Amino acid sequence: MFSYKALSFAVVALPFVARSVVAHCNRQHTIQEGDICDSISAANNVSTYQLATINAGYIDSTCSNLQIGATICLGYLNEDCSDTYVVEAEDTCEDIADGFSIDEATLYNNNPNINDKCTNIYVGEVFFLLPTILTGFNGPDYL
């Protein structure tokens, strides 16, 4: 009986949670056929990390559950980083930071998905570029 009530509550509550996320967005994207997280990020100047963080719980960690026609959030009002760079072949974190006159530590801080050796970056990943450390971006903390 308990699991039935919990499931019923989750089904009823889900539309309200989704609406509250969308209501706080200053930019949104409607999923189209062929979209992947990196292509959405690149086309809309949103870092891969920001897209994943804002949509945690809606998009899985491999970005394999995008639903055509669904609306996702790209950025929150006053917490939206839109200065981005798409990783290319042979890029290193040092090269990216130097190329945009950004301290390498700042690049890492603003893109916490990069590991400490910069060995997990890949072609098509989108980084946030800002010469200062972004503060206050924590994802959907109001839920």
Domains and CATH numbers, the chain: 1-78 (3.10.350.10), 83-134 (3.10.350.10)
pTM, two decimals, is 0.76
- pLDDT above 90 for 18: no
The Cα angle at residue 22 between residues 24 and 80, in degrees rounded to 5: 50
Q: Which pLDDT tens digit goes with each residue over 80-132?
A: 888 999 999 999 999 999 999 999 999 999 999 999 999 999 999 999 998 88
| Closest among 97, 84, 94, 69 to 125, alpha carbons compared | 84
Across 53-74, average pLDDT:
93
- The end-to-end CA distance of the chain, in Å, is 27
| Closest among 99, 107, 106 to 126, alpha carbons compared | 107
49 Cβ neighbours under 8 A, 6+ residues apart: 111, 112, 113, 128
- pLDDT above 70 for 8: no
- pLDDT above 70 for 45: yes
Tokens of 2: 């308990």
CA–CA separation, 119 and 106 (whole Å): 17
